[in-house]
Amino acid sequence: MSLLAVAPALPLHTAGKYVAGAYIVFLAIVLIYVGIMASRLSRTERELIELRRDVEAQRSAQDSEPEREPVA
Amino acid sequence: MKTVLTVLRKDLLLELRGLETLPAMILFAIVTFVIFHFGLNRDTIDGQLAAGVLTVTLLFAAMLGINRLFVAEREQGGFDAFLLAPVDRSALLVAKATALFLFLVVLEVIAVPAFGLLLLGPSLGPALAGLIAVLALGDVALAVIGTLVSAIAVQTRARDLIGPIIGLPLLLPALIGMARGAGPLLVAHGSSGPPGKWVAILALYDVVFALLSYAVFDFLLED
Amino acid sequence: MLRDVSLDVPAGSTLAVLGRNGAGKSTLLRILATLLRPHAGEVRVFGEALPRRGFAVRGRLGLLAHDPLLYRDLSGRENLGYHARLHGVAFERVEEVLEAVGMGGRADEPVRTLSRGLVQRLAVCRAVLHGPALLLLDEPLANLDPAATELVSPLIGRGCGATRVLTSHDPQAALAEADLVLGLEDGRAAFVTSPDKVDAAAVKRLYA
Amino acid sequence: MTTYGRGLRGLSLAAAATMTVALVLTFFYAPLDANQGFIQKIFYIHVPLAITALCGFVFGGVLGAVYLRTGDRKWDIRSYVAIHMALIFGIGTLLTGTIWAKASWGHWWVWSDPTLTSFLIVMLLFATYQPLRFSIEDPERQSRYASVFAVVAGAFVPLNFIAVRAAQAYVHPRVLTLTGGNLPGSMRLTFLVALAGVALLYVTLWKYEMAAKSTRMQVRALRRALLGEDSVVPLKRSAAPS
């Protein structure tokens, strides 16, 4: 505890900056994470839309050629 | 046990024939002492600084051996040959760790006197018994963790890089133990025995990682 | 990379695996040798399901792969001595197999100094050292001249007494030795049949 | 198929509410520290982050051990996400820690603080987790080796703390000892609420990430089932399991 003795309590206006800094860092990390997740969500969404479009395209192709054996 | 001796015998024979690892480790250690002489611009060092220089040099020299430990097995089919035999797979871990331990002992038999000659201020004599104890315990940690890390790294693409970056943090507590244990011994008229706290921590580290390695090693061999 | 391959190989018989490079021949052998674990499906060797019962199979099979599984810096005798210890085989057996392949005189030279043909002879020695009941032979005659082929034939040839699974770059030679033929195409079984029923066209298509 | 999304909304709300309460308590309820004054408020975010990150690393090790026992790849994915999240929390710990060090001692980094130092070593070790994964191409081997690493590194966490703590004197502004004995009641309450908040946040983000991964994998599986093997774009080489 010796080091603490030589580290006096900072006055509020100086300490405030550091405390704010620490909490902003925490908030920023969470927000950056949420942002990355949002971009990933939109990518998944896009993939789903593509999949839906491809499946429907395949359906209509099969409907127009009813005699053909289904592949795969 | 028989398998361990068989594999160990083969490893030592292989090293004796190829001389690929041990001479490089020894040369590396001695060159590093010379580099420290110039880097620190000191003719002699003692105490904690000396212990630090010695143990860090040994650690990096050990990394050379660790990187090469399984290369012959991987490149010349040793893993397959071993896996085809009806033997306990853990034997490979024990044999390799023992081989690495013996390499480290040989390294230190040469590098520690060289360190005493080139850099150390106080005479090595009174510290020797304590130093041997600390280094032996440290070598066990280096050997066990080194074998585990080497077995992981040898199957990766960038094995020369993966080995050290995993190995060095894992070995840090052992390095602390060795350096702090050896520090008081290398002071002129210093204590004759290493601090008990560090001997205990090194021993604890050895035991825990030996058990842990034994538990997980089999998973590194399956294909 | 293997799919839809199913067959039984009776004990004592020979299965020839045909297929071009990359068709999955070596993968099949490595799975049978317990060195690779199949992702799905059932593999039984000596009636033991792999990979779970792999330990019951090891030591009863011999693998002769592209890689000789020999340390280059050790001599042939030292390499075989190492394998003999691992498999719990007496050292007389090492001398016996070395003599059988005509390597008695050169067994003390480091493997790295030997020609490929001689290394292959040593690899044959290693594969049969412990008298395996199942031999997995991946191109066993690669790099061997006719005289050497003659020498190794009692060890890994048709009369050796072990069940054999063999691959070969030469389909005709493999067919001549086989009791059963598996044609592999991109990891799938193209055909499984007896060698007299294999028609030349099918083999040609396999290697096309 | 586990649906990771279930309960996510409740969990998110609980995490957000607890974090809010923790912040209110931190700034309006907890008394000013007698020695350190206002700066000690960093404690209520820094230490919960650190504890959560370390527990996350150990959690990842436990999940890795389950993978090694079962061979079921979903455990490897869980272990991966646990370590991934713990790394993010760890970065938060280091950043808030250096800010605290600067404010208390005037330096951005203080070696004499064993907790911060051993935390750095743990972070350096776990920072190799992703490069290790990336360096192994075969997915099955990647999972297996990563799990072995997770188990070993998870066990390393407490050992490392013993060794580093022994190496240095106790100089950390030790507001909280392991027993928590010397913490005034109001401070301890605030701390516990903040710890609960950060831990809930970790669990929420872990589930969130798992839900996202599993959704993506299901989209790929559906595409494979509906349109055939060839319609799926092969994955790029990645450190992440899939």
B17 min Cα distance to partner chain C (Å): 6
Backbone angles phi, psi at C189, to 5 degrees: -75, 115
C127 min Cα distance to partner chain B (Å): 10
Q: Which two tokens stand for residue D73?
A: 């790849």
DSSP reduced 3-state for C147? helix
Output the average pLDDT for chain C: 84
A19 lies in a domain? no
Cα(D194)–Cα(D186) distance, integer angstroms = 12
Yes or no, beta carbons of B17 and C87 under 8 Å apart: no
Among C64, C79, C85, most B C-beta atoms within 10 A, so best to mutate, is C85
Q: Name the domain count of chain A.
A: 1
Q: Among B210-214, C35-39, D127-131, which is the least confidently predicted range?
A: C35-39
Domain that holds residue A39: 29-58
Q: Among B72-86, B124-138, C16-30, which is the least confidently predicted range?
A: C16-30
Q: Determine how many CB atoms are found less than 10 A away from the CB of residue A12.
A: 12
pLDDT tens, residue by residue, C185-201: 877 777 888 877 777 77
Is the peptide bond prior to C51 cis by the omega test (within 30 degrees of 0)? yes
D33 - beta bridge partners?
Answer: D37
- Model confidence band, residue B223 (pLDDT cutoffs 50, 70, 90): low
What are the extents of the domains in chain B? Answer: 2-221
What are the extents of the domains in chain C? Answer: 14-70+133-207
A44 lies in a domain? yes
Share above pLDDT 70 across residues of chain B, in percent, rounded to a whole number: 99
A46 lies in a domain? yes
Question: Residue D108 contacts by C-beta under 8 Å, 6 or more apart in sequence?
Answer: D98, D101, D102
pLDDT tens, residue by residue, B102-147: 999 999 999 999 999 999 888 888 888 889 999 999 999 999 999 9
- Report angle CA B195, B196, B198 to the nearest 5 degrees: 75
pLDDT, tens digit only, all 242 positions of chain D: 567 878 888 999 999 999 999 998 888 888 877 777 788 888 889 999 999 999 999 999 999 999 999 988 899 999 999 999 999 999 999 999 889 888 888 888 888 777 888 899 999 999 999 999 999 988 889 999 999 999 999 999 988 888 777 776 544 545 444 444 466 778 888 889 999 999 999 999 999 999 988 888 888 888 888 877 777 777 777 777 77
Average pLDDT over residues A41-61: 87
Contact C185, C3 (CB under 8 A): no
Containing C192, the helix (H) or strand (E) segment is: strand C188-193
Q: Residue A4's pLDDT is what?
A: 42
**Chain position carrying tokens 């913490």:** D183
Q: Determine how many CB atoms are found less than 10 A away from the CB of residue C154.
A: 14
Which of C59, C69, C82 faces B6 most closely, judged by CB atoms?
Answer: C82
Average pLDDT over residues C122-145: 89
Which of D135, D144, D164 faces B219 most closely, judged by CB atoms?
Answer: D144
Task: State the DSSP code for C11.
Answer: T
Q: In the predicted model, is pLDDT for residue A42 greater than 70?
A: yes
Cα(C167)–Cα(B25) distance, integer angstroms = 44
What are the extents of the domains in chain D? Answer: 8-224
A53 lies in a domain? yes
Average pLDDT over residues C29-46: 82
Please tell me which residue of chain C has the smallest CA distance to B1: C86
Q: In the predicted model, is pLDDT for residue B219 greater than 80?
A: yes
pTM confidence score: 0.87
Q: Residue C147's pLDDT is what?
A: 85
Yes or no, beta carbons of D159 and B152 under 8 Å apart: no
Q: Residue D60's pLDDT is what?
A: 96
pLDDT tens, residue by residue, B2-28: 899 999 999 999 999 888 899 999 999
pLDDT tens, residue by residue, A12-33: 667 788 888 889 999 999 999 9
Q: Tell me, which fold does domain C14-70+133-207 have in CATH?
A: Rossmann fold (3.40.50)
Yes or no, beta carbons of D39 and A25 under 8 Å apart: no
- Model confidence band, residue A65 (pLDDT cutoffs 50, 70, 90): low
Which of C35, C58, C63 faces B223 most closely, judged by CB atoms?
Answer: C35
